[in-house]
Amino acid sequence: MKKILCMLLALAMCLPVAACGGSGGGENGNGGGETPAGDATKIVIYTGGSSEYTVVKGSDEDRVIAAVEQKYYEDTGVLLDFDVNYLGSSMTSSLAGAIAGGQQIDIAISHAKGGNGIDDYVIENDLYYDLADLIAEYGSFITQKTGSAMSNVTTTEGDVIGFPSVINPYKYGILVRKDYMEQAGYTDDPAEVASGKILVDNLEDFTDMCVAIKQITGFNYSITGAIWDLEKALVTGAYSDGGYFNYVAVKDAAGNITSVLPGFALEEYGDILALEYQWAAEDGIISRDANAMSLSLAEQEFISGNTGVFLTDPSIDHLISVARRTRSYAEANGKTAEFTVLPPLTATRESTRKGYIRNSEATFIASVLSTSRNAEAIVRFVNWMYMDEENYRLCKYGIEGEHYIDNGDGTYSYPEGKDEYYTAPPYSGILALVENQNVSYLEYDGYTEEEREWLAIARDENNYVDNDTVDYLMPTNQQMNSIYETAKNNYYTGVAVPAWNGRSDPRDIIASVEGQPTRFEQYLKNYLDAAQEYTSWVTNMYTLLLARS
């Protein structure tokens, strides 16, 4: 119906299509000529993933989608009809069911890299449409604006599995209730140490602080965050370049790669796992069921004042949003709430190693599925979006003047009286498919001075460990993946999950095994032995990726 209305409006205004921006051909449609409403190309999008990556439909979503469709038609003479399915954590199962049922799905958008990323899913199930040739023919602006991030969606065979996001990879932080911290006798300000407060710049004092907060407040635990969140921003960089959910290229003294291993297959991960067990079982400062908590429940827990540290999706924009909502909740209940964001912490008071785990530019991927008949139309649309800031901003931010205001200095704000848009956007940005900051990036101008200090911590490259594996699409195929998954699952169920849930200490000695290794040592050996063929293969393939880049 909205397509018919758009056509009637164009006819009523007596504007010939050729005068509406049609170029008479080129990379984005034929342009010119009238396109009957019935000729619209339907593009079906599935978006979702684990809760912290869920796209939430805005209150004005449909109107923005219609505006994008209309502008694309005016510019190119091509009529598209976007059908977006916001699926949350059920996306993978919904995707599989829809494909099995023969339903149309053109684009699947979700997070990448481990944790059931969309990249692994479409490769292992042979579900991606190789976009390499289409981008070469119709996507000059895609190539230009994506740049090096294209390596995150390019296989060792040169296939392009989708469109990668291009975002600042430096974006993490550790959100702490500063009022709770100070009440417990701790601080993040070195100048306050002289007054008797303990400086929290290491995991030893951080642990003691969380125990003290728990004792003072009567909380069940002090930290809100799943293990993967803790390993992004809190624990991993103090011990290693990689945790359970990312890879590490191990090098010899000369800098040559000797093997590529998942972070959990490094000896240093034993220290990480031991600390996570200690927090769950001995100190009681993380929930034994932390990995099962949804984003909404995690936010609710912290916002209502029931924990003192928040790490669920520790990206800085999210932390700022949560802090704002927590402060508003406290004020509505006649209370106050103060916050700070901690820089990365060392393991001990004496050690120096620290760092958040650097994110990938391609945190998200929009993959065109092999079942789609509209791959060319999608590439042309993305190229149109990337060729002009105005197009991209409509797709990403919504309607200028209504959903955002471009301040003309690289920043944006919200219309008067609409500051709530920061925490409840009227439009999700879904038709940008994935964010590309090379096309356009506007900084929100409503940050407070305190929040800008937090942003500076998160964006400081020196606060991150150096791990280049995040910049590439890790190789996978069904045979090698089967070997890897079998070996990993044994490790996962045997030592990782029991440690995270506080059931079994990874440092416990296994007396029945020769040499009496610890539980971690034995399961590490089991993994390395079982995954030997996979390790050799992935190391060779990763080296090949580097050579081609």
159 and 203 both lie in a single domain: no
Question: 19: closest CA among 37, 28, 31?
Answer: 31
Q: Using the 3D structure, point to which of 389, 421, 441 is the last residue of a domain.
A: 441
Give me 185's structure tokens: 């006798």
116 and 90 both lie in a single domain: yes
Virtual torsion, Cα 166, 78, 375, 363, nearest 10 deg: 20
**Element holding 261 (H helix, E strand):** strand 257-262
Give me 31's structure tokens: 């342009």
Q: 226: domain CATH number?
A: 3.40.190.10
138 and 279 both lie in a single domain: no
- What Cα–Cα distance (Å) separates residue 168 from each residue in 228, 263, 355, 459? 20, 23, 16, 8
Domain range for 153 is 2-167+360-441
Give me 424's structure tokens: 């409840």
163 and 177 both lie in a single domain: no
83 and 191 both lie in a single domain: no
Question: 485: closest CA among 114, 49, 92, 51?
Answer: 114
> So what's the pLDDT on residue 340?
98
**Element holding 257 (H helix, E strand):** strand 257-262
109 and 180 both lie in a single domain: no
> So what's the pLDDT on residue 511?
84
Beta-carbon contacts of residue 43 (< 8 Å; ≥ 6 apart): 80, 81, 82, 83, 106, 107, 374, 377, 378, 381
**Residue 549 CA, distance from chain mean position:** 23
42 close to 58: Cβ distance less than 8 angstroms: no
User: Considering its fold, how many domains does the chain have in total?
Assistant: 2
> So what's the pLDDT on residue 114?
64
162 and 45 both lie in a single domain: yes
Q: Using the 3D structure, point to which of 379, 410, 441 is the last residue of a domain.
A: 441
CA distance 414 to 391: 19
Q: Using the 3D structure, point to which of 441, 466, 487 is the last residue of a domain.
A: 441
User: pLDDT 10s per residue in the chain (549 long)?
Assistant: 433 334 333 333 333 333 333 333 334 433 333 444 568 999 999 999 876 678 899 999 999 999 999 999 999 999 999 999 999 878 888 888 999 999 999 999 999 876 578 998 899 889 999 999 999 999 999 999 999 999 999 998 899 999 999 999 999 999 999 999 999 999 999 999 999 999 999 999 999 999 999 999 999 999 999 999 999 999 999 999 999 989 999 999 999 999 999 999 999 999 999 999 999 999 999 999 999 998 999 999 999 999 999 999 999 999 999 999 999 999 999 999 999 999 999 999 999 999 999 988 999 999 999 999 999 999 999 999 999 999 999 999 999 999 999 999 999 999 999 989 988 999 999 999 999 999 999 999 999 999 999 999 999 999 999 888 888 888 888 889 899 999 999 999 999 999 999 999 999 999 888 889 999 999 999 999 999 999 999 999 999 888 877
345 and 392 both lie in a single domain: no
425 and 462 both lie in a single domain: no
338 and 418 both lie in a single domain: no
369 and 411 both lie in a single domain: yes
With b meaning 16 or more CB within 10 Å and e meaning fewer, what string describes 448-475?
eeebeebbebbbeeebbbebebbbbbbb
61 and 100 both lie in a single domain: yes
154 close to 474: Cβ distance less than 8 angstroms: no
